[in-house]
Structure formats: C-alpha cells, structure tokens
Structure 1
Amino acid sequence: MHPGKPLQILEDEAEAACCPPLTERPLTAEEAERIATMFHALGNPVRLRLFSAAASHESGEACVCDISDVGVSAPTVSHHLKKLKEVGLLTSERRGTWVFYRAEPSVIDAMSQMLSRSA
C-alpha cells in the first residue's frame, strides 16, 4: 500500500464490486492488499476501540473529547486516530478547538458485505 494514501474501500457503486464477500471468490492481490491494510489498522486494540466509539456514537460522529478515554495518553490517541484516517476508516472535521470523527457508513457497509456469505 502507498504510505499516506487513504484507503478507498467504497467510493461509488462501481467500487462495491471490488470488495466481494470473502466466500464468493478468491481475492485479487490488489483487493487483498487493500483489505489487509484495513484489518491491520483494526488489529490494534486501541484503534479498534476508537473506531467502535466513533461508529457507535448516537449522533453518528464523536468529538475526540468523547472517545479519548481508552487508557492511553492524548498524543497516543491522536496517533491512532491519524492511522485510522490514513487508511480511510474514519473521517474528521475540525469545529473550533475540537475535532469530530465519523466512521463513514459506506466503509461499515463494505466491511459487512465483505464478511457476509455470498447469496
């Protein structure tokens, strides 16, 4: 994967075909690399908790102040949030002094589709 280049799991309907259910057919090398990058980012327990906190927040987005209590320092939280953004699992928006994070529904849908059984 290209360092610093965001992971684009699902940009539009045409992109949906690139991430088939894992039981549908063997993945291409490109698909496997893209998906492995996402799973690698989620393989860290702190990142997984941060992603889950943002994805499950009742408003669909969470202020960093609401999700940063994961047992590590603020700079470490920032580092992990940056990694989640780099691979395209989270997006962010600065509002005044706070940053709000959102797990894009298309990313969650693509992850769900990939882990489901094909019809």
Structure 2
Amino acid sequence: MTNQSAASCDGAILQLNAAEASLLANRLGALADPVRLQILSMISTSPAGEVCACAFVDPIGKSQPTVSHHLKVLAEAGLVDGDKRGRWIWYRLTPGALNAATTALLDATS
C-alpha cells in the first residue's frame, strides 16, 4: 500500500496514493458515526455472524429508514455485505474489511 517513490524535499515519503487515501477516508467516514458503530458491534457479536436488518431497529432505537440508511453507508464503504432473503436483508461483516482499514491507517501513520 505504500508509494516509496514520491519523496518530498525534506525526505518525507507519501504513504498513501490518492485512490488508497480515498478508500480509507470513505471507510473511516462510515465508521465515524455512533449508530454505524452500534450496527457493526451487533453484527460482530452475533452468534450466527449475520443480523437481519429488522433486528437493529429496537436495540438501536432508530426507525427502519434510518437503520437502512446507515446499513447502506456501511455497505458502500465495503464494511458489510448483505443478502436479501424474502422481505429482509441479512448483513454480515465483509471479511477482512475492518482489519484492512485498521492496517491502512496504521501504515499511513507509521
């Protein structure tokens, strides 16, 4: 993920190219919301590894349209995947996405 060829006059090295920075900013932006963090927490602690969209409303205390919006943001950031089953979509964490975001952030700042 590093771009070692772009050094500034003071020797600083550009760690993220524009595409990598954009992806990381999108993921971090999606994570920077309390409701979305609650959603990720529920999914990550689910014994089945997935949660029906309908199951978020009561514990989080938000309306179904609001929950759907937050799930859409998480999906667009590549943090969750969903499968439609009947009327509802079941969400699970995208394998490795949270670890990749954490690693990219650590790499960019080290």
Q: TM-score, normalised by structure 2?
A: 0.73
The answer to whether structure 1 residue 26 and structure 2 residue 21 are counterparts is no
Alignment partner, residue 100 of structure 2: 110
> Structure 1 stretches of 5 or more lacking a match?
1-16, 19-24
Alignment of 1:57-68 (within 5 A): 57-68=46-57
Alignment of 1:1-119 (within 5 A): 17=1, 26-68=15-57, 69-115=59-105
The amino acid of 1:38's aligned partner reads R
Rounded to whole Å, the distance in 2 between the matches of 1:50 and 1:116 is 24
Deviation of the 1:114 alpha carbon: 3.0
Alignment partner, residue 10 of structure 1: none
Higher helix share: 2
Larger radius of gyration: 2
Q: Match of 1:105, SS?
A: coil
Deviation of the 1:46 alpha carbon: 0.8
The amino acid of 1:32's aligned partner reads A
Q: Match of 1:99, SS?
A: strand
* Coordinate RMSD, CA, aligned: 2.4
Is the 8 Å Cα contact of residues 94 and 100 (structure 1) preserved in structure 2? yes
Percent of aligned pairs with the same residue?
40
> Structure 2 stretches of 5 or more lacking a match?
3-13
Rounded to whole Å, the distance in 2 between the matches of 1:102 and 1:52 is 11
Q: How many residues are paired up?
A: 97
